[in-house]
Every structure is written in structure tokens, then in C-alpha cells.
Amino acid sequence: MEEEFQFEQLTYKKQRHNNDFGQGFYTGESYEQAISFVSGFDHSSVYYIRFDDKNLKCKRYEVDQEWMMTIAYYRGALDEYRNHPIIEKLIEQSRDCDYIIAPIADNRMFQIINSFIAGELTDEQCKHCLAATNLGMQYIFISEKAVSQAKLIERCYISNNEREYYKNVRLEESKLGDNKVKLARKQYRGKGRYIDEILE
């Protein structure tokens, strides 16, 4: 019982603001996905969580312009547009829910989004580059009610061999993703709109 209490307090109240969707409790959808993100840390572990979505409102995102611009806002890349009606609407929608289901954007993917915000890529180029680096989905519990319906049920400690294996898997996937990104940049060059055209 004490562990569940810690789980609720530490994850919801003390999360950083500059995550993909601001404050919330972030989880992944599979054991392998979770390990790939923590394998670089010594003494890392993975938690299994049971989540009851009954009577909760969900906001779902796909790899599209809405997702890209919402993440860019929360990661601090759209400060000059923060009062634009389009951005205000995106942020309002991202908070009008109890939990979010969305594609994961790691730091490598955020660099691609930054290129879109900087006017170096169109929205179509950016979208297809991001789709080429698919990391799976994340579940973010936004409201206290959603967090209260998420229960920690098991903690799995990761062996050194397992950590090394998944670090290598992540490295290979990263190389493959980089090649796909280069191809998408070329294939969709000149297609879509730049950020200043969208927020003119």
C-alpha cells in the first residue's frame, strides 16, 4: 500500500513541465519499449501498471500536425506563437481530458520537430520523418482521477545482460530510423506547408 501511495504522489505532483504533453504520469505500452528507454541507467527497473479507464475522458493523437505542434509547445519551442489562436486551441484540447494516448517523441524526434519549427521542414516532411522513427505509443495520465485509477502491480529489476541487449537494440533501431528520415526528407521535399504559413 505504501508503494502505491508513493507512486501516486511522486508521478503526478512532481513531474517536469517540459515533457511531451506537460505535467502528467507517463507510461509506455510494452515491457520491451520501457526497457529500451531505461537501459542506459544502472539499477534500472520496469513497473507494470493496471489502469482502469472507466468514466475517464481520453484524448488520442496520431503522427500529424496537431501532435507535432502540441509537443513543440510543451517542450518550449513555440513560445513566440503561444498566444496564437491555433496554439491556444491545441493546448486547451490537450488539457480537456483525463489521459492522453499519443506516439512517443524522444529527443531525436524532437530535433526533427525543431527543424519544422525553425522553418527548415514542411509539416508533410516532418510528419513522414517522424513516422519513420516509430517508437510506439505512450499513455499520459493528466488528471488526479486518472492517476487514482492507475495501480502499480509489479516491479521488474533489469539484469546487466538484459540492459546491454536492449541498448544494442535501441542503437540499431536508431540507425535504421536515421536512414528512413533521410529518405523521407527527400521524398516529401516541397510538399506541405512551413510553420509561418500555418501560423500566418
pLDDT tens per residue across span 121-172: 999 998 888 887 777 899 999 999 999 999 988 888 888 888 888 888 877 7
Beta bridge partners of 102: 138
What predicted TM-score, i.e. pTM, was given to this entire model? 0.82
**Greater model confidence, 173 or 81:** 81
Task: Give yes or no for a contact between 169 and 55, defined as CB atoms under 8 angstroms apart.
Answer: no
User: Which H or E run contains 99?
Assistant: strand 99-103
**CA–CA distance, 86 with 84 (Å, rounded to integer):** 6
Instruction: Look at residue 2 in the predicted model and tell me its pLDDT.
Output: 38
Going by DSSP bridges, is the β-strand pair 137-141/25-28 parallel, antiparallel, or unpaired? antiparallel
pLDDT tens per residue across span 65-105: 999 999 999 988 888 888 999 999 999 999 999 999 999 87
**CA–CA distance, 67 with 134 (Å, rounded to integer):** 14
Cell of 172: 540499431
